[in-house]
Structure 1
Amino acid sequence: MRMIAAVMHEQGLPTPYVDSQPFRIEEVELDGPGEGEVLVEIRGAGLCHSDLSQVAGLRKRKLPVVGGHEGAGIVREVGRGVTGLKPGDHVVMTAVADCGHCQFCNENRPVLCESVTLARSQGLLSDGERRLSYRGHPLYHYSGISSFAQYAVTVPTSLIKIDQSIPLDVAAMFGCAVVTGAGSVFNSAKVRPGQNVAVFGLGGVGLNTVMAARISGASEIIGIDINESKFSLAKELGCTRTLNARDPNLVEMVKDLTRGGVDFAFEISGSPAAMTSANALTRKGGEIICVGLGATGEMYQYAHAGLVSEEKVFRGSFMGSCVPVRDIPRYMKYYQEGRMPVNRLKSGTMLFEDLNRNLDLLDRGEVVRQVLLPHG
Structure 2
Amino acid sequence: MTDTKYQRAKAVISRAAGAPVVVEEIEVEFPRRGEVMIRMAACGVCHSDLSATNGTIPMPAPLVLGHEGAGVVVALGEGVTGFALGDHVLSSFVSMCGKCRYCQTGRPQLCDQAAKAAISLPDGSVRTRGLDGQPLHVFSGCGVMAEYATMHVDNVVRIDADVPLDRACLVGCGVMTGVGAAVNTAKVEAGSIAVVFGCGGVGLNAIQGCRIAGAAMIVAVDMSDAKLELAREFGATHTLNAATPDLVKAVRKLTGGGADYAFECVGKGDIVAQAYGVLAKGGKAMAVGVAAPKDSTTIRTGSLTFDEKTLTGSYFGSARPRQDFPRLLALYRDKRLKLDELVTRRYRIEEAPQAFADLAEGRNARGVIVFGE
TM range, smaller chain? over 0.9
Q: Displacement of 1:104 after TM fit?
A: 1.1
2:9 aligned with 1:3, yes or no? yes
Residue 170 of structure 1 corresponds to 167
How far apart, CA to CA, are the structure 1 residues paired with 2:95 and 2:235?
31
Match of residue 35, structure 2, among 9, 34, 37: 37
2:32 aligned with 1:26, yes or no? no
Helix, strand or coil at the partner of 1:138? coil
Residue 130 of structure 1 corresponds to 126
Gaps of 5+ in 2: 1-6
How far apart, CA to CA, are the structure 2 residues paired with 1:52 and 1:245?
23
How far apart, CA to CA, are the structure 2 residues paired with 1:130 and 1:353?
24
For the 8 Å contact 2:264–2:286, the answer to whether it is kept is: yes
Residue 89 of structure 1 corresponds to 87
Q: Displacement of 1:55 after TM fit?
A: 1.4
Q: Displacement of 1:249 after TM fit?
A: 4.0
Helix, strand or coil at the partner of 1:213? helix
Helix, strand or coil at the partner of 1:143? helix
Residue 4 of structure 2 corresponds to none
How do 1:130-149 and structure 2 match up within 5 A? 130-134=126-130, 135-149=132-146
For residues 243-286 of structure 1, give each alpha carbon's deviation from its aligned partner in whole angstroms, at most 9, with x where no partner exists.
11111143233222322100110000012232222121111211
For the 8 Å contact 1:116–1:127, the answer to whether it is kept is: no
2:256 aligned with 1:259, yes or no? yes
Residue 238 of structure 1 corresponds to 235
Q: Displacement of 1:366 after TM fit?
A: 1.5
Helix, strand or coil at the partner of 1:152? strand
Residue 99 of structure 1 corresponds to 97
How do 1:188-227 and structure 2 match up within 5 A? 188-227=185-224
How far apart, CA to CA, are the structure 1 residues paired with 2:228 and 2:209?
17
The AA in structure 1 aligned to 2:166 is D
Residue 307 of structure 1 corresponds to 304
For the 8 Å contact 1:54–1:60, the answer to whether it is kept is: yes
TM-score w.r.t. length of structure 1: 0.94
For the 8 Å contact 2:268–2:295, the answer to whether it is kept is: no
Deviation beyond 6 Å, 4+ runs, structure 1: none
Please say which of residues 255-264 and 146-155 is displaced more in the overlay: 255-264
For the 8 Å contact 2:207–2:235, the answer to whether it is kept is: yes
How far apart, CA to CA, are the structure 1 residues paired with 2:312 and 2:246?
25
For the 8 Å contact 1:127–1:155, the answer to whether it is kept is: no
Gaps of 5+ in 1: 14-21
The AA in structure 1 aligned to 2:106 is N
Q: Displacement of 1:44 after TM fit?
A: 0.3
Residue 3 of structure 2 corresponds to none
The AA in structure 1 aligned to 2:274 is S
How far apart, CA to CA, are the structure 1 residues paired with 2:134 and 2:208?
44
Please say which of residues 303-312 and 282-291 is displaced more in the overlay: 303-312
For residues 273-303 of structure 1, give each alpha carbon's deviation from its aligned partner in whole angstroms, at most 9, with x where no partner exists.
3222212111121111010011113222222
Change in 2 beyond 3 A, CA 1:365/1:167: same
Helix, strand or coil at the partner of 2:189? coil
Residue 298 of structure 1 corresponds to 295
For residues 149-176 of structure 1, give each alpha carbon's deviation from its aligned partner in whole angstroms, at most 9, with x where no partner exists.
0000012232222221211100110100
Please say which of residues 109-118 and 252-261 is displaced more in the overlay: 252-261
How far apart, CA to CA, are the structure 2 residues paired with 1:94 and 1:79?
18
How far apart, CA to CA, are the structure 2 residues paired with 1:172 and 1:127?
25
For the 8 Å contact 1:208–1:342, the answer to whether it is kept is: no
How far apart, CA to CA, are the structure 1 residues paired with 2:24 and 2:18?
20
The AA in structure 1 aligned to 2:249 is E
Q: Displacement of 1:315 after TM fit?
A: 0.9
How far apart, CA to CA, are the structure 2 residues paired with 1:349 and 1:180?
21
For residues 44-100 of structure 1, give each alpha carbon's deviation from its aligned partner in whole angstroms, at most 9, with x where no partner exists.
000011112111111211221100111100110111111121111111112122111
Aligned length: 366
Q: CA RMSD in A?
A: 1.3
The AA in structure 2 aligned to 1:56 is N
Helix, strand or coil at the partner of 1:42? strand
Residue 250 of structure 1 corresponds to 247
Q: Displacement of 1:127 after TM fit?
A: 3.6
Indicate the percent of aligned positions where both proteins have the same amino acid.
Answer: 38
Q: Displacement of 1:126 after TM fit?
A: 2.2
Please say which of residues 89-98 and 157-166 is displaced more in the overlay: 157-166
Helix, strand or coil at the partner of 2:90? strand
The AA in structure 1 aligned to 2:18 is G
How far apart, CA to CA, are the structure 2 residues paired with 1:143 and 1:352?
20
For residues 336-365 of structure 1, give each alpha carbon's deviation from its aligned partner in whole angstroms, at most 9, with x where no partner exists.
000001110000100122212222221121
Match of residue 351, structure 2, among 349, 354, 358: 354
For the 8 Å contact 2:65–2:138, the answer to whether it is kept is: yes
For the 8 Å contact 1:36–1:79, the answer to whether it is kept is: yes
For the 8 Å contact 1:5–1:27, the answer to whether it is kept is: yes
Match of residue 57, structure 1, among 32, 51, 55: 55
The AA in structure 2 aligned to 1:261 is G
How far apart, CA to CA, are the structure 2 residues paired with 1:221 and 1:277?
16
How far apart, CA to CA, are the structure 2 residues paired with 1:281 and 1:171?
34
